[in-house]
Amino acid sequence: MVDNGLGRHIKDPSITLPMLMKYSYYLWINQIINIVAVAILKWSICAYLLVLDFSKLYRAIVWFSILVITAINFLAPVFTLFGCAPLEANWNRAIVNKKCWAVGTLPLSYAQGIVNVLTDVVYVVVSVALRSFGAERASADADRL
């Protein structure tokens, strides 16, 4: 991507239109890879947290977060990445006869960021709280013996 203009100003005279088109295409591909990778990472964290099996409430919270991650961080972005016909119109803004339904995706980007932060905080806070609660309960059970 650096060879095609990454890191340089769009008005840099050394950047040609074919370079810009190639850069836009690679950027579009990278966005797809990033979205899928983040979703897989979040799902794998959820799978691990489900294995810990703290409580029914915790499992419900993790399953709810899996649904939210799937909807907000995977399905919605993937649908918007393929939101133009013909397909090339997703990265080629010069195409005139195009139909795009994914217009104004900034709120979706904010929603993704908020969901990412909230799920990270929930995973940490709930895990620590349940672990410390479980440790206190285990030590209380040991004291009774």
- For 66-125, the pLDDT digits (tens) are 999 888 888 877 777 778 888 888 888 888 888 888 776 778 778 888 888 998 888 888
Q: Which helix (H) or strand (E) holds 111?
A: helix 106-144
Return the pLDDT at 63. Answer: 92
Given a contact cutoff of 8 angstroms between Cβ atoms, the answer to whether 63 and 119 are in contact is no
The confidence score (pLDDT) of residue 67 equals 93
Flag whether the pTM goes above 0.75: no
